[in-house]
Amino acid sequence: MKKFLFLFCLIPFAVDAQEYVDLLKIGYGETFTNDFVDTSESTSVSSFDVDVTVPVVINENHAFVTGVSFSKNNLQLAPNAENTSLYSTILKLGLASTYNEKWSSTIIFLPKIASDYKNITGEDFYFGGFGLLKYQKTEHLKYRFGIYGSMEAFGFFTVPIIGWYYLSPNQKFEMDMSLPISSDINYTHGAFTYGIDYYGIGRSFRLYGDQEESSSYVDMSSLEFSSYVQFNALQKSVLIRAKFGYSSTNYEVYADGDNIDLGVAAFTFGDDRTQLNPDISGGFFARVEAIYRFNLSSESASEAKK
């Protein structure tokens, strides 16, 4: 059991430091109305994603982390166009290590295939990953520092990660910050958790349509701000979450080969691309999520009683 506990203390796919790890997460969301800028047309955007994490213990100080993440986004990319589905499948391969009571690290490689999946070629494969260094300041506070990078259809993109994780002594108030990628602040009362969160992501997808070769790609940039109510079942290991918020997600279409020199967080360098579709404005969205969570604190407590 101690080996089992240690394994879960190391699982880090989305920059961990929590008293838990999410082994399975399924979500579905829909943005109700997104207007095409400078037109009278609009589109709705639906999204579906599944994330699975599977750990393998190597020894007492290291664990191999693997899993897969799948997402699908469906929308119109231009006024009066047919709906397009954009898919992404990411393989997670990495190593989580603990050096002492204060310091630990995580390195994860993230190869992926991203396109409309009408055809799959070598151009649809991209390589990315992130590295994190974590410092346990106190029993209730951990800092994290890292960097994420990925090759995309538009070029290379990278973002530094600075954050912290705090859980109050009574385990009711929680802050999980990984800036500028995500943040989550919540409070648990009884069987329910109430929170606010933010999530930002950038992705790209090759477009094929009815062609054998891709001639364009989608540059997706997303910022989501939401509040949520979460029902906690089976000692907070099965979670059902309902979210409502505002999304400023944009899907810009460019010709293949029309790239940037470098993207760093919200900044781009050498970006003189010509956009082929109108900008899409933000809109309000609703989302439901189901999560299977392994709680480290409860398992540790059970071990202590034995």
Closest CA relative to residue 76, chosen from 100, 105, 42, 25? 42
If DSSP codes are grouped into helix, strand and coil, which group holds residue 297? Answer: helix
Identify any residues that bridge with 297 across adjacent strands, giving them in sequence order. Answer: none
- Quote the pLDDT of residue 212: 82
Cα gap 68→90, rounded to integer Å:
6
Q: What is the pTM of this model?
A: 0.86
DSSP E strand stretches across the chain: 20-35, 42-57, 62-76, 83-98, 103-109, 112-115, 125-126, 128-136, 141-152, 155-167, 173-179, 182-189, 192-207, 216-233, 238-247, 250-255, 262-264, 267-269, 283-295
Cα gap 78→276, rounded to integer Å:
9
Residue with tokens 């989608």: 218
Cβ burial, residue 270 (10 Å; 0-12/13-18/19+): exposed
pLDDT digits (tens, 9 = 90+) for 158-216: 999 999 999 999 989 999 999 988 999 999 999 999 999 999 888 899 999 888 888 89
- Quote the pLDDT of residue 142: 94
Residue 276: phi and psi, rounded to 5, are -100, -5
Domain count, the chain: 1
Closest CA relative to residue 29, chosen from 301, 290, 295? 290
Q: Are 165 and 17 in contact (CB under 8 A)?
A: yes
pLDDT at 148 over 90: yes
CATH number for position 60: 2.40.160
Q: What is the DSSP letter of 122?
A: G
If DSSP codes are grouped into helix, strand and coil, which group holds residue 3? Answer: helix
Mean pLDDT of 259-285: 88
Identify any residues that bridge with 209 across adjacent strands, giving them in sequence order. Answer: none
Half-sphere exposure of 270 (CA within 13 A, CB side): 11
Q: Are 245 and 285 in contact (CB under 8 A)?
A: yes
Domain coverage including residue 30: 2-305
pLDDT digits (tens, 9 = 90+) for 62-107: 988 899 999 999 999 999 899 999 999 999 999 989 999 999 999 9
Cα–Cα–Cα angle for 120, 264, 213, rounded to 5 degrees: 20
